[in-house]
Structure 1
Amino acid sequence: MSRIDLPQKENNLFQKLMKCYEQKQFKNGLRHAKAILSNPKCTDHGETLSMKGLILSAMNKREEALELARKGLSKNFRSGTCWHVYGLVLRAEKKYEEAIKAYSNAVKWENRNQLILKDLSHLQIQMRDYEAFKKSRLDLLTLRPTLRASWIGFAVANHLLGEHDTAFEVLEEFRTTQNKSDGQRSRDHDSDYENSEIIVYQAKILIEQKKHTRAIEFLEKNRAEILDIPHYHETLGDLRLILGENEQAEEHFTILVHRNPEKRVYFEKLAQAVEADADPLRINEFYDTMANVFSRSKLPLLIPLELVIGEIFTRRLEHYFKASLRKCLPNIHVTLRPIYSDAQKRNELEQLALRLCELLEKNQTMEEDGERESPACLVWLYHFLAQHFDFLKNYEMAMHYVNLALEHTPTITDLYVTKGRIYKHAGHIKYAAACLDEAQSLDTADRYLNCKCCRYLIRAGEVEKAEKMAEQFTRENTTVQENLKEMQVLWFQIECAQAYYEQGKYGLALRKCYEIENVFADVTEDQFDFHNYCMRKMTLGEYVEMLRWEDSVREQKYFQAAALIAVNIYIQIHDGTWNPETGGSTAAEANLSEAELKKLKSKKKKEALKKKKEDEKKKKEGAKRNTEPVKEDPLEPEKLLKEAQEKALEKAKEWCEWLETLSPNWLPGQVAAYELAKRRNRPFQQLRAVKRLINHHGLDNAAVHFTVCDWISQAKQTIAAVEDEVVSKVLTEGNDEIMNLTGDVTSYNKKYLSENKLSYQHRLQVALIAKTVEKSDDIETIIDGDFSTGSIDDYKQGIALSNCLKLREAAKSLFPLATEFGAEFDNPPRMLKEFDQINGHSIEN
């Protein structure tokens, strides 16, 4: 029975049912559906069953909704409405491929239904099926040629397919049909804005085609209709520079600089336009003029410091540095960071700062016979010197100056933050956390200090304390974990994931990784709402940029870090290097005594028992409130661990696919991809990862060396195990390319060592190959040499690999404050004493 076959009464009810769904009056809609279906003649009315399912889907009763949608479709297979509803229910379930098929079938039976075509086009662009999207938008344009969205959608479809000329002409034709005489021109601001956006979008299409001259002519022709003035001048200025029309470009960037003298790129492009970006004298003259005109802007004082040299640099640096000290700016080091890449400028800055420090300490002046300066100048100079020496990894000098600053003025929170940063870089994260705790206690209303302190506490292993501190800025009546997850605070989540990973709490670490992945999945899903919105609001350029950004959204650093942690966890569980009883590394536990192992197991059992009691308590509290039973958490740590132990490599593959496809240039991701492929016996993927590492990072890279040597050491055996001749041939050719660059492992490792003898990181990689691949015992001789470079982790790895006494002494010398190398302190910060008392351990431990 179709809709038109319904009796008059039921047909009227069906119309009300449709209206109730549109107005979100779901209870009334269900009542009308029940009234229709209660008639024995209409019990199997397919469209009513489908609409009832659609309403249930909107009420989050997904399973029942899907069942009704299927039932309605089975009762009326030729109904476009039933297919459309089925597609909507599938779309709500995020089954986009199946939903597209359902919409396509709906179009077969109702090929003039604009709503179905529009919904189908949104799904097609969501899945990036540009050809099908173009066809759907053309059908919509054919059906409603007077509708603005029809033209815009078809133009965007052509643009995304790279058919720029067609896209431009479609928009031009649309604008021609919309043009009115001056007397009839609409006074509606929204209409003017939309027309302006179309013009800007057309210019973008021309620029992507590199039709720069035509783009200039087009923009100038339509100047009166463009409302986005800064974008107009930016675009024309850039195009003029490309074409070498510097005089005209100067006019545009002069306007922009006067509009916003705090935007660096405007100054740089204006300097390029007046040809003052190469000659130091011209640069100096140009920025002097800019400094006089824009006396409140710091950029004309900062930018030339990166470009000029010699006496000009000395004069400008001294002027800027003294002015900043007199203004008591806390960010002097941050603003001068770009010049640190030049060793000569860095040394000159250090000498200037030390000279001024001596003058201020002696006479409280910055000139030999100058006026007395404010006492605050000295404290901020101490602050700068602390940051400066911290950057140079001279932690003792950095600590000296920050302590002088604290003695001078112990109430400045920035000093405690800097001191914490020094401790962090020096290898004492617990002291760092204590310093940030002190800073936060001085200003509890500062969100930045709160976040900074939380980050340091997490890195110190105090996740619970960090969560308690974060509660100060989270919503009431909800747990801090739920609120942070809802607010998508990714830095907090990834720090927790890393902390749990280092503590061996793999279930909790995986939970955090999946919570981060869910955020990126939500970002991908959320773009669905913008397909219609951007077409309607005419933000076309931003819409296209959003689509392109969404395609690479998982290249973002937080997702990469989460994926790497997850892959490493799954690999370690597969390799058996993680002990589920103690939650620790089996390699690390090999050196523990039986008593220590017993203590670890006991601690693990206590934690499990405590969690079990908490879960039971929550269930009882929920039962008392007569609430609905709590749904099973798909990210329960125990459940994630169980899945990891059952199918570790499959789960790792799901994460690693993102790294392989979206981050081919990211070194840690390709190393992880290689290690996973090795365990899954996928030689093609191994070879691909090795080639990517060589192509993007080169054979000289220390981190690449180990992976390359590991491949060439087992490549022959791996290829020999391949039965397919074609596959074996391709692998052999790829391996021969690498072997031509390297040779066998032993000779390549020796050659690599001789070429990189002065680098500790390179010697460390050679030693790792010698021990793991060549099974050599002469590790100490390989590592021995210059130890002036390397991070704390590098030295930890080297000490674990070798008992080289010189290496231990070098580590202590380079990182005298690092607890990893035996540093001790007599006078810890006040908050650290409380910190240790709370957690039940002593400073010495």
Structure 2
Amino acid sequence: MMKGDQVLPSKEANLFKQIVKFYETKQYKKGIKAADQILKKFPDHGETLAMKGLTLNCMEKKEEAYEYVLRGLKYDMKSHVCWHVYGLLYRSDRDYRQAIKCYRNALRLDKDNLQILRDLSLLQIQMRDLSGFAETRQQLLMLKPNNRNNWIAFAIAQHLHSSYDLAGKILMAYEGTLEGVPVSERYEHGEMLLYKAMIQEESGALNSALESLDKGSDQIIDVLAAKEARGRLLQQTGNLTGAEAVYRELLEMNPDNYNYHTGLQSSLGTDPGSEITPDQRATLQAAYEDLFEKYPKSTGVKRIPLNFLEGDHFKAAVQSYVTRFLQKGIPSLFSDLSSLYVSTAKADILEKMFEEAVSSLPSSDKLPWCQGETLEEPAVYVWALFYLAQHYNHRGASTKALEKIDAAIAHTPTIIDFYLVKARILNEAGDPKAAAIVADEGRSMDLADRYLNSEATKWWLQADQVESAQDTIALFTKDGDQGNNLHDMQCMWYEVEAGNSHLRCERFGKALKLFKAVAEHFADIQEDQFDFHSYCLRKMTLRTYVKLLRMEEHLHGHRFYCMAAFGLVRAYIGIYDQPIALEGSKSAVSAVSQRRPSATPGSLL
């Protein structure tokens, strides 16, 4: 069975090196040819058998690949190469737990193999084995302490393991090894300093984080990120005056960044997410009057005060704000103001204001709150109607909403946005089929617009007209391959909507297929992070990398995944309750056995 040490003669040993080279350069046919040359003389050489199997795996010949690798292990179980290759096969099949076992077996035979240790660390972070990841990265650092990536990766491992102090000490120790930073590496070094400040902030060492930013201010290239972190840290340490100054500097750079406005408001002693006192309101009002003088063209500076102003102050501010939207015909006005509807008083002011506008514009050609003599364009009237239609629909008055949108369409039938809003109103009023017809009418007015096509498709699906939806969305997919094209584009909104439509029509098999496709997309997204484990270390995008890892940990809380999972459960229940579900006129999807399925909830996906 096991032949012990299998040492090849020099000629075949060089040929074996060629196999590895051909594999790395994706010259698989040449690799197979070279392997066959060795196996002709040494048919039981385990490492060559394993490499041939690995090469076959890349040629989509998985069964043969596993056969050759297992034969290689059979003849040479003491070869770390065979175990490493076996792990690579499992990794390609996304069976990471088995791959880790193979790598560990390989390391028992060659404990200091850098390549195997690196591959193991990638699988450990992918599987979130944080303790194992930290141990492996420490071993790599000890073996090769002159490699920057080993220091950084070990710090990340400790950071993710919540060992903040140790992570910070590792980065400081690495800084101590630097004699100088070359110009070509200034960006990477600056990113490391920002990452160190991030670790200190998360550990609660806020003053240390501020000190790190101050010391590295002349070395950090991403000045904006440093300034944002500084403002946040000053705020958390209670230095509101300093934080206010920083956020005012940031607003000079971008007065429409809402995060900066939130920071400024907090620095002024208010919590943007809670009720404010009259004194706080007066402080904010004065602050935004000052900001308006500095940035008169900023939309954010005009819009944000609408959140905290009340009564006549709110009315005057909102009248000034909406005028430009109406005059320029900006369709997103209602979407912009919809968050104000949590206040009934503000919603009432808006309703009265727009009703007065609709009443006065036809006769005076002026907005009632504008004192100038300039006459408004006729389009202002129709955009006021458009706003009112959405306003009444939001407040549940479907009849009034339809009256307003019909009046707008009658006035100017060429504005496509009107048809989309009418479709929404009809759908919420309980007539999804009429909504789909109206949306399709709007789509036909601009056949080159993908958004309109998607909207019409959505409403056809809401009306359970799946064939019409397929015909519509097919206009923007590759000819003859609609299903695969949508799947490749990870078009989850369509798959969820179509799946729900099939559920409503009790076509459980088709629904199941669509919901499983969504689950596959999320599996792919989770798999896609694999390449970033090494890439982000090389590029030193450390803060973004940590955010990516944390996002991936909550990936399955995404609404599309939740909707698909819920749909899968309903589809399985439907199939169980109705063992033979006819799909269309000919096909029967699946017959389930009379016993209840024994699959665990996790296996549904």
Summarize the alignment of residues 35-114 of structure 1 with structure 2, pairs less than 5 Å apart: 35-39=37-41, 42-114=42-114
Summarize the alignment of residues 293-692 of structure 1 with structure 2, pairs less than 5 Å apart: 293-367=294-368, 370-476=373-479, 478-574=480-576, 576=577, 578=578, 580=580, 604=584, 606-608=585-587, 638=589, 641-642=590-591, 644-645=592-593, 649-651=597-599, 653-654=601-602
Give yes or no for contact 2:515–2:567 (8 Å, CA) kept in 1. Answer: yes
Summarize the alignment of residues 678-827 of structure 1 with structure 2, pairs less than 5 Å apart: none
Please, which of 195, 200, 206 is the counterpart of residue 194 of structure 2? 200
Q: 1:77 is paired with a residue of what secondary structure? A: coil
Name the CA distance, whole Å, in 1 between partners of 2:521 and 2:324: 45
Name the CA distance, whole Å, in 2 between partners of 1:276 and 1:459: 43
| 1:271 counterpart letter in structure 2 | Q
Instruction: For residues 255-276 of structure 1, give each alpha carbon's deviation from its aligned partner in whole angstroms, at most 9, with x where no partner exists.
Output: 2112222211212322332457
Cα 1:90–1:652, aligned 2, differ >3 Å: closer, same or farther?
Answer: closer
Name the CA distance, whole Å, in 2 between partners of 1:388 and 1:488: 34
| 1:299 counterpart letter in structure 2 | G
Please, which of 262, 266, 269 is the counterpart of residue 268 of structure 1? 262
Instruction: Give me the identity figure in percent.
Output: 34
Name the CA distance, whole Å, in 1 between partners of 2:5 and 2:485: 47
Cα 1:543–1:3, aligned 2, differ >3 Å: closer, same or farther?
Answer: farther
Cα 1:276–1:512, aligned 2, differ >3 Å: closer, same or farther?
Answer: closer
Give yes or no for contact 2:130–2:160 (8 Å, CA) kept in 1. Answer: yes
Name the CA distance, whole Å, in 2 between partners of 1:500 and 1:122: 41
State the 1:648 CA deviation. Answer: 5.3
Give yes or no for contact 1:416–1:439 (8 Å, CA) kept in 2. Answer: yes
Cα 1:484–1:58, aligned 2, differ >3 Å: closer, same or farther?
Answer: same
Please, which of 175, 183, 186 is the counterpart of residue 187 of structure 1? 183
Give yes or no for contact 2:149–2:537 (8 Å, CA) kept in 1. Answer: yes
| 2:539 counterpart letter in structure 1 | K
Q: Unpaired runs of 5+ in structure 1? A: 584-603, 609-636, 659-845
State the 1:178 CA deviation. Answer: 2.1
Give the number of equivalent residue pairs. Answer: 594
Name the CA distance, whole Å, in 1 between partners of 2:254 and 2:599: 50
State the 1:43 CA deviation. Answer: 0.9
Q: 2:459 is paired with a residue of what secondary structure? A: helix
Give yes or no for contact 1:2–1:46 (8 Å, CA) kept in 2. Answer: no
State the 1:4 CA deviation. Answer: 6.4
Give yes or no for contact 1:78–1:109 (8 Å, CA) kept in 2. Answer: yes
Cα 1:562–1:507, aligned 2, differ >3 Å: closer, same or farther?
Answer: same
Are 1:239 and 2:242 an aligned pair?
A: no
Cα 1:534–1:3, aligned 2, differ >3 Å: closer, same or farther?
Answer: farther
Instruction: For residues 500-539 of structure 1, give each alpha carbon's deviation from its aligned partner in whole angstroms, at most 9, with x where no partner exists.
Output: 1101100000000110111111111111111111121111
Cα 1:454–1:3, aligned 2, differ >3 Å: closer, same or farther?
Answer: farther
State the 1:377 CA deviation. Answer: 0.3
State the 1:409 CA deviation. Answer: 0.5
State the 1:582 CA deviation. Answer: 5.6
State the 1:651 CA deviation. Answer: 4.3
Give yes or no for contact 1:280–1:309 (8 Å, CA) kept in 2. Answer: no
Name the CA distance, whole Å, in 2 between partners of 1:400 and 1:648: 53
Q: 1:5 is paired with a residue of what secondary structure? A: coil
Give yes or no for contact 1:423–1:431 (8 Å, CA) kept in 2. Answer: yes
| Higher Cα Rg, which structure | 1
Give yes or no for contact 1:4–1:11 (8 Å, CA) kept in 2. Answer: no
Matching residue of 2:224: 230
Cα 1:240–1:399, aligned 2, differ >3 Å: closer, same or farther?
Answer: same
Are 1:30 and 2:32 an aligned pair?
A: yes
Cα 1:655–1:80, aligned 2, differ >3 Å: closer, same or farther?
Answer: closer
Give yes or no for contact 2:508–2:581 (8 Å, CA) kept in 1. Answer: no
How large is the RMSD of aligned CA atoms in angstroms? Answer: 1.9
Name the CA distance, whole Å, in 2 between partners of 1:645 and 1:472: 40
Name the CA distance, whole Å, in 2 between partners of 1:427 and 1:648: 37
Cα 1:354–1:490, aligned 2, differ >3 Å: closer, same or farther?
Answer: same
Are 1:257 and 2:251 an aligned pair?
A: yes
| 2:598 counterpart letter in structure 1 | E
Cα 1:301–1:209, aligned 2, differ >3 Å: closer, same or farther?
Answer: same
| 1:147 counterpart letter in structure 2 | N
Give yes or no for contact 2:508–2:572 (8 Å, CA) kept in 1. Answer: no
State the 1:135 CA deviation. Answer: 1.3
Q: Unpaired runs of 5+ in structure 2? A: none
Name the CA distance, whole Å, in 2 between partners of 1:133 and 1:652: 29
Cα 1:13–1:3, aligned 2, differ >3 Å: closer, same or farther?
Answer: farther
| 1:174 counterpart letter in structure 2 | Y
Matching residue of 2:214: 220
Name the CA distance, whole Å, in 2 between partners of 1:149 and 1:339: 49
State the 1:22 CA deviation. Answer: 1.4
State the 1:385 CA deviation. Answer: 0.5
Give yes or no for contact 2:193–2:220 (8 Å, CA) kept in 1. Answer: yes
Q: 2:469 is paired with a residue of what secondary structure? A: helix
Cα 1:547–1:268, aligned 2, differ >3 Å: closer, same or farther?
Answer: closer
State the 1:67 CA deviation. Answer: 1.1
